[in-house]
Amino acid sequence: MSHATTLSYARERDAADALSHYRQQFHFPKHNDAPVRYFTGNSLGLMPRSVRAYLETELKSWETYGVEGHFEGPHPWMHYHKLFTEKAARVVGALPLEVVVMNTLTTNLHLLMVSFYRPTQERFKIIMEGGAFPSDQYAIESQVRFHGYQPEEAIVELVPRAGETHLRHDDILATIAREGAQTALVMLGGVNYYTGQLFNMADITRAGHAAGAVVGFDLAHAAGNVPLQLHDWNVDFACWCSYKYLNSGPGGPSGIFVHERHAHNAELPRFAGWWGHDEGERFKMKKGFQPMPGAAGWQLSNAQVMAMAPHLASLDIFDEVGMPALRAKSVELTGYLSWLLDQLQAEFPQSGLHVITPKNPDERGCQQSIVLPKIGRKVFEYLSANGVIADWREPDVIRVAPVPLYNSFEDVQQLYEILRAAIIQNS
Ligand SMILES: *Cc1c(COP(=O)(O)O)cnc(C)c1O
C-alpha cells in the first residue's frame, strides 16, 4: 500500500471519500475554536446533530398528550421499543425477532446469563478473556458465585502466550476443545476493548457448540464497528451498548440478541417483567407470565423513551450508510493509521513504540492500541494539550479509534504529526 505522510495526501483521500460528508452530521468538541481530533468514539461516540429534534419530538408528545402519549403523537410510546428492532437487527446481522433494545449493557449481561448460564455438576465452567472489561469480569464472577461455584474453579481465562500481546485464534479453539466437556458457556467480547482484537465469532461459536456449550458475545466494542452476522453465525445470545460506536449518548440503551432457535422456548428460565409478557394479554394484568416470542420476551419495563430517542436518531444514520460501506471506509482509514504508526516505529526505534492490535484487518475493528513504554503518559498529555482526544490506559497504552462515520484521513494524518512532535519532545 503506497500512502504518504503529508497533509495534502490525506486531503486527497478525504476528497475521494464518498462518506466524508457524514462528518457534518456530528457535533465536535472545540479546542482553541477548532474541532478537536476526536479518537474516542470507542468510549463515547459524538452527538449526531439530529438528536435534538428526535428528543424534541418526544418532549412535545409528553407536553401535548401527557399519558395519552402512549397512544398519540408521531411515535406512540406503547410501541416505542419496536421502532428500534429492525434497524438494530441490521447492524448486528439478525432477524427482527432476535433483537430488542432495552436497559443497559451490564444489566442485560446478567439477564442473559440467567437464561443461558445453566451450570450442572459436570458442566459449570465459563470460558472468557483474561483481562476482560471489568464490568464483564464482575458480572461473570457474581453469576458463578450465585450458582454456588468459586470463580477460580469455574472461570477459564484465555490469555496471550508469554511475550505476545493478543490471543491466537487456534489457542482459543484449543482451549474450548480442552475444557469443552466441563464448559457451560463461552462468553467473549466480539472486539477486545483493550487490544482492539476482533475475534472470529463464527469459528468460536462452532467450536463452542461442538463442545456442547452455549456461546454468547459482549459486542460493546463490535456493534457499529465491524460487520456482524449473529444469526448466520448461530450465536446463542449477545448484547451491546449504544453509546460507543453507536453514538447514542452517555448511558444510552443496550441491545440484545437471542437466536431464533430459542425464540419460542418458554421453558428457558428468565427474570421476567410485564413488558416481556405476551402483548395481547399485557394489560389484562393477570397472573401467569407468558413470554413474547423472541428477544422481546426478555424485556422487563416499558421503554425509557427519553434515553432511547438519541439511539433512534443514530440508528437512522447507520441505516442510511449501511455497515458494508462503513466497514470499507474503516479498513482504509485504520489501514492508513496503521501505516503511519509503522513509519513512526521505524523513525523512532528507541521510543519503543509498538501497536498491540493485530495487523490483519480481519482481526481488528477501527481501534489501534499503541504502547509507548516510559514516555506514554507524557505523550498522551501532549496530545491532549494539542487538541487530540485519545484514551489512556495504565500502564502505557494509548487507544485511538478513527471512526469511519465522522473521522477523516486528515484527522488521522494530524494525529500522526502531533504524535511525532510529542515523541521528539520527549526523547
Ligand atoms: C463499555 C463496556 C461496558 C459498559 O457497561 P455498561 O453497563 O454500559 O456501563 C461493559 N462491557 C464492555 C466489554 C464494555 O466495553
Binding site membership of 220 for ligand 1 (Cβ less than 6 Å): yes
Which segments of 349-408 does DSSP mark as H helices, in order? Answer: 376-385
Binding site membership of 307 for ligand 1 (Cβ less than 6 Å): no
Residue 1 has pLDDT above 80, yes or no: no
DSSP conformational letter for 270: -
Binding site membership of 338 for ligand 1 (Cβ less than 6 Å): no
Binding site membership of 218 for ligand 1 (Cβ less than 6 Å): yes
The dihedral sign for the CA sequence 29, 30, 34, 40: negative
CA distances from 82 to 88, 197, 238 (A): 10, 32, 18
Q: In this predicted structure, what is the pLDDT of residue 286? A: 82
For the segment 14-22, the average pLDDT, to the nearest whole number, is: 98
Residue 226 has pLDDT above 80, yes or no: yes
What's the 148 CA to ligand 1 centre distance in angstroms?
Answer: 25
Residue 8: how many other CB atoms lie within 10 Å: 8
Express each pLDDT in 234-255 by its tens digit: 999 999 999 999 999 999 999 9
Atom of ligand 1 nearest to the CA of 251: 8
Task: Name the pLDDT band for 261 (thresholds 50, 70, 90).
Answer: very high
Reduced DSSP (H G I as helix, E B as strand, rest coil) percent helix, strand, coil of the chain, to 5? 45, 15, 40
Nearest CA residue ID for atom 10, ligand 1: 135
Give exposure, 37-75, as e/b (b: 16+ Cβ within 10 Å). Answer: bbbbbbbbbbbbebbeebbebbeebeeeeeeebbeebeb
Q: Which residues pair with 255 in a beta bridge?
A: 101, 240
Q: What is the CATH number of domain 7-35+322-426?
A: 3.90.1150.10
Burial (CB < 10 A; 0-12, 13-18, 19+), residue 321, is: middle
Binding site membership of 219 for ligand 1 (Cβ less than 6 Å): no
Map out the domains of the chain as residue ranges.
7-35+322-426, 54-321
Rounded to whole angstroms, the Cα distance separating 65 from 136 reads 40
Binding site membership of 401 for ligand 1 (Cβ less than 6 Å): no
What's the 423 CA to ligand 1 centre distance in angstroms?
Answer: 32
What's the 251 CA to ligand 1 centre distance in angstroms?
Answer: 10
Query: What is the pLDDT of the chain when averaged over all its residues?
Result: 97
What's the 220 CA to ligand 1 centre distance in angstroms?
Answer: 6
What's the 113 CA to ligand 1 centre distance in angstroms?
Answer: 15
Lowest mean pLDDT, pick from 72-76, 103-107, 152-156, 279-283: 279-283
Q: In this predicted structure, what is the pLDDT of residue 2? A: 83
From 187, 204, 200, select the one nearest 137 (Cα to Cα): 187
Nearest CA residue ID for atom 8, ligand 1: 105
What's the 240 CA to ligand 1 centre distance in angstroms?
Answer: 8
**pLDDT above 70: percentage of residues in the chain:** 100
What's the 134 CA to ligand 1 centre distance in angstroms?
Answer: 8
Binding site membership of 259 for ligand 1 (Cβ less than 6 Å): no
Q: Which three cell numbers stand for residue 391?
A: 484514551
Q: In this predicted structure, what is the pLDDT of residue 32? A: 95
What's the 246 CA to ligand 1 centre distance in angstroms?
Answer: 13
Residue 28 has pLDDT above 70, yes or no: yes
Q: Which residues pair with 10 in a beta bridge?
A: none
Binding site membership of 135 for ligand 1 (Cβ less than 6 Å): yes
Express each pLDDT in 35-44 by its tens digit: 999 999 999 9
For the segment 105-134, the average pLDDT, to the nearest whole number, is: 97
- Give the max Cα distance, the chain: 71
φ, ψ at 243 (rounded to 5°)? -95, -10
Which segments of 77-191 does DSSP mark as H helices, in order? Answer: 82-92, 105-116, 134-146, 151-154, 169-179
For the segment 288-308, the average pLDDT, to the nearest whole number, is: 96
What is the Rg, in whole angstroms, of the alpha carbon atoms belonging to the chain? 22
Binding site membership of 106 for ligand 1 (Cβ less than 6 Å): yes
Residue 187: how many other CB atoms lie within 10 Å: 30
Express each pLDDT in 76-88 by its tens digit: 999 999 999 999 9
SS3 assignment, position 368 = strand
Rounded to whole angstroms, the Cα distance separating 187 from 29 reads 36
Binding site membership of 133 for ligand 1 (Cβ less than 6 Å): yes
Binding site membership of 413 for ligand 1 (Cβ less than 6 Å): no
Q: In this predicted structure, what is the pLDDT of residue 266? A: 86
For the segment 259-282, the average pLDDT, to the nearest whole number, is: 94
Residue 291: how many other CB atoms lie within 10 Å: 19
Let me know if domain 54-321 sits in CATH 3.40.640.10: yes
SS3 assignment, position 67 = helix
CA distances from 117 to 235, 238, 251 (A): 14, 13, 26
